[in-house]
């Protein structure tokens, strides 16, 4: 049984160090991508304050397809280059969006979302999907969140056979 510790959300470096440790523990000994991404989404959604969605989209046949997540039901498929997620894939770069309404082509899965952080999942140098976090609060995510979630995405990508 996994019992979540009392994460300190005020100290982001410590928070993400704790999350990296706990994610590594959760995925240890398992290679199934659905199982590991499901637990990653649950861990992140439970630990980070002020989220309304956390989950994975995986590249399949040239487009992003919805994977395991926590939050409201979401868009099933996103084309590469479209929305924040598709832009993360097309550029291979983390997308830190303070105001989703100001992002050209943002795809609103939940009308409550106001800011978003999307980190590419990279395996052997190739983007194979994204880890996507949404918040109802504008500018919820900063550079410390981006660095922390990139660390989590690295652990997750390395732990799965996609």
Residue 74 interacting with ligand SME (CB under 6 A): yes
- Under the binding rule (CB under 6 A), the answer on residue 109 touching ligand SME is yes
Q: Check residue 53 for interaction with ligand SME (CB under 6 A).
A: yes
Decide if 125 contacts 147 (C-beta within 8 A): no
Which residue, 19 or 78, has its beta carbon nearer to ligand SME?
Answer: 78
- How many residues at the interface with ligand SME, by CB under 6 A? 15
DSSP 24-62: HHHHTT--BHHHHHHHHHHHHHHHSSS-SEEEEEEEETT
Residue 75 near ligand SME by CB under 6 A: yes
Q: Where in 89-108 is the site for ligand SME (CB under 6 A)?
A: 106-107
Q: What's the closest the beta carbon of residue 12 comes to ligand SME, in angstroms?
A: 22
Residues 121 to 150 in contact with ligand SME, rule: CB under 6 A = 132, 134
Identify which of residues 31 and 77 has a Cβ nearer to ligand SME in the complex. Answer: 77
Taking the complex as a whole, how short is the minimal distance between the CB of residue 48 and ligand SME, in angstroms? 15
Nearest residue to the partner ligand SME, using Cβ:
83
List contacts with ligand SME (CB under 6 A). 53, 74-75, 78, 83-86, 106-107, 109, 113, 116, 132, 134
């Amino acid at each position: 049984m996994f019992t979540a510790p009392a994460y300190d959300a005020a100290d982001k470096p410590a928070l993400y160090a704790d999350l990296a440790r706990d994610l590594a523990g959760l995925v240890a000994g398992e290679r199934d991508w659905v199982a590991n991404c499901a637990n990653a989404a649950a861990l992140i959604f439970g630990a980070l304050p002020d989220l309304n969605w956390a989950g994975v989209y995986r590249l399949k046949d040239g487009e992003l397809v919805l994977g395991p997540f926590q939050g409201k039901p979401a868009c099933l498929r996103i084309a590469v280059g479209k929305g924040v997620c598709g832009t993360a894939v097309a550029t291979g770069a983390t997308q830190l969006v303070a105001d989703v309404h100001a992002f050209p082509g943002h795809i609103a899965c939940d009308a409550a979302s106001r800011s978003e952080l999307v980190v590419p999942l990279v395996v052997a140098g190739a983007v194979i999907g994204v880890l996507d976090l949404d918040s109802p609060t504008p500018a919820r995510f900063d550079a410390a969140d981006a660095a922390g979630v990139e660390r989590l995405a690295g652990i997750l990508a390395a732990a799965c056979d996609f």
